[in-house]
Structure 1
Amino acid sequence: MAALASSAQGKSPNLLVRLLARPTAAAGLIVITLVVLAAIFAPLLTPHSPSQLSIVNRLTAPNSQFWLGTDELGRDILTRVLYAGQTSLSVAFSVVIVSSLIGIVLGLVAGFFRRADAPVSRVIDAMMAFPDILLAIALVAALGASAFNVVLALGIVYAPRMARVVRASTLVIRELPYVEAARALAVPTPVILVRHVLRNVTSPLLVQGTFIFAQAILAEAGLSFLGVGISPDIPTWGTMISAGRQFMNSASWLLFYPGLAIVITVLALQLLGDGLRDLLDPRLAKDI
């Protein structure tokens, strides 16, 4: 773990260059950047409004006016896919933040304080024993269907994964000489945790965060598809697929394009996460 920290610190200025040197990781980074930019600048990329109705043009197949067709209310699919990306990406990013905050606290407590390790680890194992989507459905059902509750539920679901990464790293770091020296000098424990422990687990947290980002997009889409996620009035990739499934045979583009957006985004995040893992883990970097 010391080698991991020194490698990340010593080579961090060239991380982007080294990442772009790997074709798959570079492709993932470029694609996810384009997806994010398309979502951010959606109002500039399409002349339509995501809520603009046109019954005359309902269920219109892709053509020169509506590049990706229209839905059952005549709304432009391209516009809704772009605007839905804003919500889906925002929710997934918020899930990463919430799961990281909860996971860091649990991981540091379990890894640094020996007496707390057993009970906290049992809680983490118990949470991971449930399938992610079932636990998320139960939490959203208990909290209520809203964007905030979806973020909170998925943040709780994925927090144990972050906690296990932080705990494993903390168990190694707490035995290193510089941590023992800080203890001997009576450095306050919170300072040791933040300055000496937390800063040395950023690399594995970054890698895990990219994977959770991808999984959160899929989970949000699954919850919305099942009708227990974000309100159908708010366009997300999941709600678009859910609304279009009744027209699967007559207007397949209603499902295809939001589904394609999910596939492209998740695949790009997975490629980016694999590239970061290979570069930030010195054991794998030796083979590169």
Structure 2
Amino acid sequence: MAAVASSPAAYGGASFLGLLVRRKTVLFGAIILIVVVAAALLSPWIAPYAPAKLSLANRLKPPSAQHLFGTDDFGRDVFSRVIVAGRTSLTVGFSVVIVSTVLGVILGLLAGFFRRLDGPIARVIDAMMAFPDILLAISLVAALGPSASNVILALGIVYAPRLARIIRASTLVIRELPYVEAARALGVSTPRIMANHVLRNLASPILVQGTFIFANAMLAEAGLSFLGVGVAPSTPTWGTMISQGRQFMDSAGWIMMFPGLAVVLSVLSLQLVGDGLRDMLDPRLSKDL
């Protein structure tokens, strides 16, 4: 890979803005992510039509000045539905990050800090990660029932082991460092050591892994909605729109194409930003840039 910084130390201390200047792929990802988030947040004001408004006289109209992304089989404006669905996908993805981070940090800290708990928790984590993500998510949603809150809970449980393994591995190293031993010798309580001396040093891997979980959660939510076991069908989601447009793939491909592009661009942008954050926050990787 071509060198883009004068030295690893200089790159490691660079700000995220400097990273955007050096890495065009990260800049591209950040721009796409900002556009997607802005469109989702402003969807009530920028959507030209109500997402559920039916107009059978305009059904299956191709993209035009009146309907930028065309219309579906019920005459609903695809552009309006895409940006409104983005709000649902982003909400689900962000909520999954919160749930998985809380569960993963708790499990990882307990397994890494307390030797007695390491074995049982590590086995549970390994067992959960042995199942494919989408199959485990489908099983949990089927048991809990299809709804946005249950999808968030199910995906949070699915992705928590990924973060827990990283937290556990880092905690195993940090707990043996001299400043942690010094804190123990001074009589500092265990919860305070875990919060002030261990968890504070794990902020970087948590942040980086959170962006990847965000991307995977949005992709998984689209997959669950596509299969009909995700968010309620009455709520516009990218996965539901793709599923509903399958029967018109040959005659009205735009019904599937635009929500599909929204999923691809959103996930790609989060992955690119996550890669950039990882390279910026991990000095060991900066020497390869």
TM-score bracket for this pair, using the shorter chain length: over 0.9
Number of matched residues? 281
Q: What residue is the counterpart of 2:5 in the other structure?
A: none
Q: CA deviation at 1:89?
A: 0.7
CA displacement at 1:235 relative to structure 2: 0.4
Aligned residue number for residue 3 of structure 1: none
- Answer yes or no: is 1:246 the counterpart of 2:236: no
Which residue is 2:178 aligned to? 177
8 Å Cα contact 1:136/1:153 also seen in 2: yes
List structure 1 segments (4+ residues) > 4 angstroms apart after TM superposition: none
Aligned residue number for residue 4 of structure 1: none
3-state SS of the aligned residue for 2:156?
helix
The answer to whether 1:280 aligns with 2:275 is no
Q: Identity of aligned pairs, percent?
A: 66
2:260 corresponds to 1:259: yes
Structure 1: runs of 5 or more not aligned: 1-6
DSSP-derived class of the 1:201 partner: helix
Is the 1:68–1:77 contact (alpha carbons within 8 Å) kept by the matching residues of 2? yes
1:133 matches 2:134: yes
Is residue 141 of structure 2 the alignment partner of residue 164 of structure 1? no
Which secondary structure does the structure 1 equivalent of 2:70 belong to?
coil
Letter in 1 for 2:130: A
- Counterpart mapping for 1:1-288 below 5 A: 14-288=15-289
Q: What do residues 191-211 of structure 1 show as CA deviations (whole Å, max 9, x unaligned)?
A: 111111111011011111111
- Asked if structure 2 preserves the Cα contact closer than 8 Å seen for 1:109 and 1:116, the reply is yes
Alpha carbon RMSD of aligned pairs, Å?
A: 1.6
Q: Is the 8 A contact 2:14 2:280 kept in 1?
A: no
Q: Distance in 2 between matches of 1:239 and 1:274?
A: 29
C-alpha spacing 1:12/1:189, structure 2 compared with 1 (3 Å): farther
Q: Output the CA distance in 1 between the equivalents of 2:231 and 2:197.
A: 40
Task: Give the partner amino acid of 1:206.
Answer: L
Deviations 1:15-63 (A, max 9, x none): 3333443111111111101110011111222321111111110111111
Give, in angstroms, the shift of residue 282 of structure 1. 1.0
Q: 2:128 corresponds to which letter in structure 1? A: M
What is the CA-CA distance between 1:108 and the residue it aligns to? 0.1
Tell me if the contact between 1:96 and 1:209 (Cα under 8 Å) persists in the aligned partners: yes
Query: How far apart are residue 13 of structure 1 and its match?
Result: 7.9
* Residue identity in the other structure for 1:155: G
Which deviates more, 242-251 or 133-142? 242-251
User: How has the CA–CA distance of structure 1 residues 234 and 110 changed in structure 2, closer, same or farther, with 3 Å as cutoff?
Assistant: same
